[in-house]
Amino acid sequence: MAQTTRTDPLRNFKFTVRFTPLDDTLKTLTSGIGDLGFAQMGGLSVQNELIAYREGGMNTHPHKMMGQSDFPPISFARGAFATQDQLYQWQKFMHSWIDGGKGGFAGGASGDASNYRCNIVVKVYDHPFTAQGVQYQYDNQTTTPVNPGNVKLAFKIFNCWPGAYGLSDLNAGDNGIMIQQLNIHHEGFAVAWGNDVADIDSLN
C-alpha cells in the first residue's frame, strides 16, 4: 500500500468548499449552498500594484514602491443537478438586489435584505485516507458533513459575490455532462497552514 510522507506535496483533488451567506434572506433563498460539492476551483491569488517614481539626482532608474493589493476573481465549477439551484438563486438574488428588490426576491422573500455576499472556506485534505467506512460527499439527508480525512491546508475567502454565472453548452452529438460555472469577486483571503487549519472558520 502506498504511503505518503511528510516530504510529499499536498494533492490538488481532495477538497471541500463551503459557502456561508452573510445575510439571513440570502441564506434562506440559497438553502443548502454550504453543502455543495465542486469539481474545480481556480484563480486564488493576490496582485500588488507597482508605483514607480523618479528622484532628482538619480537618473539611472526609478524607485519602486507598493500600491494597493487587488484580488482577481476566483472560478468554481460543478455539475448541474436538477434539484440543486443554489448558485443560480444567488445570481438571481444579485440581479434583484441591484434592481432595488423590485418584484421581490426569488422565492417570495421581501426586498429588505442588506447583504448579497458570502464567505467561502475551502479545505484541502491529505491523501490517502484509509479509515474504513469513510464517505467523501455530504449526506443529502443531513447538513452534517462526513469525515473525508485530515485537513492540511485551508483558505477563507472574504466578502464574495458572483461576477459571472453560466451553464455549459448543449450538444446532441456529445455525451458529456452539464457544468455550472461561477466566477467570484472577493475582498481578500487568508490561508491556514498545518496546525492552524482548525482556526480557519474564525478568521476575519
- Write out pLDDT tens, residues 85-144: 999 999 988 877 766 655 455 444 444 567 899 999 999 988 765 555 555 555 444 555
Tell me the DSSP string of 156-181. Answer: EEEEEEEEEEEEPPP-TT-----EEE
Question: Is this prediction's pTM over 0.75?
Answer: yes
* pLDDT tens over the chain, length 204 residues: 556 556 678 889 989 999 999 988 889 889 999 889 999 999 999 999 999 999 888 888 999 999 999 999 999 999 999 999 999 999 988 877 766 655 455 444 444 567 899 999 999 988 765 555 555 555 444 555 556 678 899 999 999 999 999 999 999 999 999 999 999 999 999 999 988 888 888 877
d(CA 139, CA 103): 35
